[in-house]
Amino acid sequence: MVTAYILIISESGAERRIVEELLDVDGVEEAELVYGEYDVIAKVAVEDISQLSDFILEKVRPIGSIKRTSTLIVAGD
């Protein structure tokens, strides 16, 4: 299992809706509003690293009003 954090910059006013939509996506374990350079952070889990790119491209980025993402992959135990 691979865990990653996806940092999201959104269009102004869309943050809460993005969090709600992320929480409905299988594989998203947590999603929260944050202050600072990013607007939303999501913790995701996928079976292996090869699935992470598809997960982001097919399940996260299609959510409306997401302008940019940055992904942090958790180092193994």
Tell me the C-alpha distance between 33 and 31, whole Å.
7
User: Which pLDDT tens digit goes with each residue over 8-64?
Assistant: 999 999 999 999 999 999 999 999 999 999 999 999 999 999 999 999 999 999 999
Q: Whole-prediction pTM value?
A: 0.93
Q: How many Cα atoms within 13 Å fall on the side-chain side of residue 21?
A: 14
Q: Which of 35, 30, 41, 34 is nearest to 8 (CA)?
A: 41
Give the tens place of pLDDT for each residue, 18-27. Answer: 999 999 999 9
